[in-house]
Amino acid sequence: MINLNDNFMLSNLVEIARGAGELIMTHFRHNASVECKSDGSPVTIADKEAEDYIVKELKRLWADIPVVGEETSSAQSLKPSELSRFWLVDPLDGTREFINNSDEFTVNIALIEDGLPTCGVIYAPAKDLFYIGQLEYGSYRKTHDGDWQKLPLHADSDRMTVVISRSHPTKGREEAFLATLGDVGILKVGSSLKFCMVAENSASLYFRAGRTMFWDSAAGHIIAKAAGAGVFHWGTDTELTYSSDKLENPEFMVVRPKWANLCR
């Protein structure tokens, strides 16, 4: 069992994520008004309030580290290619799930250093479920009233289980790739919880062909990586990085080591 009191960064990120989650929950299932951003994706007052809170707290504790947030990125002049360290924040990942009254939405916070995530937290406030990860510390999960459990939780299965996006299917690409894998189990899940399922080894593989942004993946990336999974450009062994000024991911895969060779 771990004691987060000896880890200043992770313990504070957990409390920041918890605070953001409490703000989000004041709007959950209360018909929060929905706006459309320029890319057509939805945004609610919960997204905005949670990001304001997270950014304020990060700057209070780490004033020297810039913050790139989903809801403020378009107004910022920050360029990842010019930053050695910065925070990536998705205050409400799975906004569509949130709007549809599903509990599969998360708060994502990750620290990027030299183009790679080194520390991160994912909090699912409607589930009161935490995942944390740091390279030198490992990855852990904490359920409501439970202890921190080291990841992965499960041993490898003889049958691959694939987790895919519930709200963002890329059917042609998904179907073609799944056909190459043969007999696999398929789960549909919202938000960054898909990364967490691979981290805990309740899923073998998560792949994504549709458009995603840095803040969608960075926290899940480090949690999966510190739990022994790989996070790669689709079909390669090249790790996903976070140094493009477009803030946009290529197609990628998150995979447990047992199955990595089948995905290249």
Quote the number of domains for the chain.
2
- CA–CA distance, 205 with 191 (Å, rounded to integer): 15
Residue 156 domain flag? no
- CA–CA distance, 205 with 221 (Å, rounded to integer): 13
Quick count: other Cβ atoms within 10 Å of Cβ 3?
A: 8
Q: Does residue 115 share a domain with residue 178? A: no
Q: Does residue 22 share a domain with residue 134? A: yes
Share of the chain above pLDDT 70, in %: 97
- CA–CA distance, 78 with 50 (Å, rounded to integer): 20
Residue 155 domain flag? no
Q: Who contacts 262 (Cβ-Cβ below 8 Å, separation ≥6)?
A: 160, 181
Name the domain boundary from 98, 119, 150: 150
Angular region, 94: left φ>0, alpha ψ -120 to 50, beta rest: left
Q: Does residue 28 share a domain with residue 137? A: yes
User: Residue 171's Cα: distance from chain center in Å?
Assistant: 22
Q: Does residue 99 share a domain with residue 218? A: no
- CA–CA distance, 142 with 10 (Å, rounded to integer): 13
pTM: 0.95
CATH of the domain at 34: 3.30.540.10
Contact 141, 151 (CB under 8 A): yes
Query: Residue 96: is its pLDDT beyond 80?
Result: yes
The mean pLDDT value of the chain amounts to 93
Q: Does residue 211 share a domain with residue 130? A: no
- pLDDT, tens digit, 9 for 90 and up, residues 207-252: 998 889 999 999 999 999 999 999 999 999 999 999 999 999 999 9
Q: Which DSSP symbol is given to 10?
A: H
- pLDDT, tens digit, 9 for 90 and up, residues 10-58: 999 999 999 999 999 999 998 777 788 777 688 899 999 999 999 999 9
Q: Which tokens belong to 192? A: 């960054």
Query: Residue 74: is its pLDDT beyond 80?
Result: no
Q: Does residue 175 share a domain with residue 143? A: no
Name the domain boundary from 107, 129, 150: 150
Query: Residue 5: is its pLDDT beyond 90?
Result: no
Please give the pLDDT value at position 167: 78
Q: Please report which confidence band the pLDDT of residue 256 belongs to, taking 50, 70 and 90 as the band edges.
A: very high
Please give the pLDDT value at position 12: 98
Torsion of CA 189, 195, 199, 205, to 10 degrees: 70
Q: Does residue 126 share a domain with residue 24? A: yes
Q: Does residue 130 share a domain with residue 167? A: no
Range of 176's domain? 161-263
Query: Residue 75: is its pLDDT beyond 60?
Result: no
Quick count: other Cβ atoms within 10 Å of Cβ 174?
A: 18
Residue 108 domain flag? yes
Share of the chain above pLDDT 90, in %: 79
Dmax (CA) of the chain: 50
- What's the rounded mean pLDDT across residues 73-77? 69
Q: Does residue 84 share a domain with residue 43? A: yes
Q: Does residue 125 share a domain with residue 247? A: no
Please give the pLDDT value at position 93: 96
Q: Who contacts 178 (Cβ-Cβ below 8 Å, separation ≥6)?
A: 162, 184, 186
